[in-house]
Amino acid sequence: MATTATPDSAPPPTAPNTAGSGLRGLPAQWLRRHPELAAQLRGFAIVAVICTVISMVIFAFLRPVTGTQWANAISLILCSLLNTELNRRISFGISGRHLWWRDQRRGLWVMVLALAMTSGSLWVLHQVVPGASITLELIVIVLGNVASAVTRFLLLRFWIFRRARHGNSSVAVP
């Protein structure tokens, strides 16, 4: 009996790589097609972790002295300045001092959103659990910050640092 395969025949086709395909693979595929956005999101996540940790330490330190709401407000204001500066450099690649004051002012306006969300969350917590522990307060603040993070990123990307999207980090866009 003779075989039908020829020595010059091509190898059998391999199955396509389906790792990461389907619904779960869509975000990864989309981010691969948009590397600038992927880098901005990566930088934003790094800055968010750094600032959240610092904010929680400041809150925990100030809370016994100033009370819950003041400790929250002071920690958010201080970390907002750091957050805006780190996002300028890490997330959006802006290193010059041009428009620094404007960026910081706008960053403080964005912080007002986070302050409203975390202060409101703390108020609700203390209505529901009047003797809430500092651990529970910190959890509520972190959840409030996570909830405002999407809006913060969008405001940073499309309002404060929109000039970076156009490849020009030193010229103001009206």
* Res. 174: pLDDT tops 80: no
Q: Classify residue 97 by its DSSP letter.
A: S
Q: Classify residue 9 by its DSSP letter.
A: P
Tell me how far CA of residue 118 lies from CA of 48, 77, 130, in angstroms.
15, 12, 16
Structure tokens at 48: 């968010």
Q: Helix (H) and strand (E) counts for the chain? A: 6, 0
Q: Assess contact for 111 and 77: CB atoms under 8 A.
A: yes
pLDDT of residue 3: 55
Between residues 18 and 143, which one has the greater pLDDT? 143
Mean pLDDT over 16-45 rounds to: 72
Q: Using pLDDT thresholds of 50, 70 and 90, give the confidence band for residue 22.
A: low
Question: How does 57-81 read in b/e, with b if 16+ C-beta sit within 10 Å?
Answer: ebbeebbeeeebeebbbbbbebbbe
pLDDT of residue 173: 39
pTM beyond cutoff 0.85: no
Predicted confidence (pLDDT) per residue in 104-115, tens digit: 888 888 889 888
Poorest-pLDDT segment among 5-9, 31-35, 162-166:
5-9
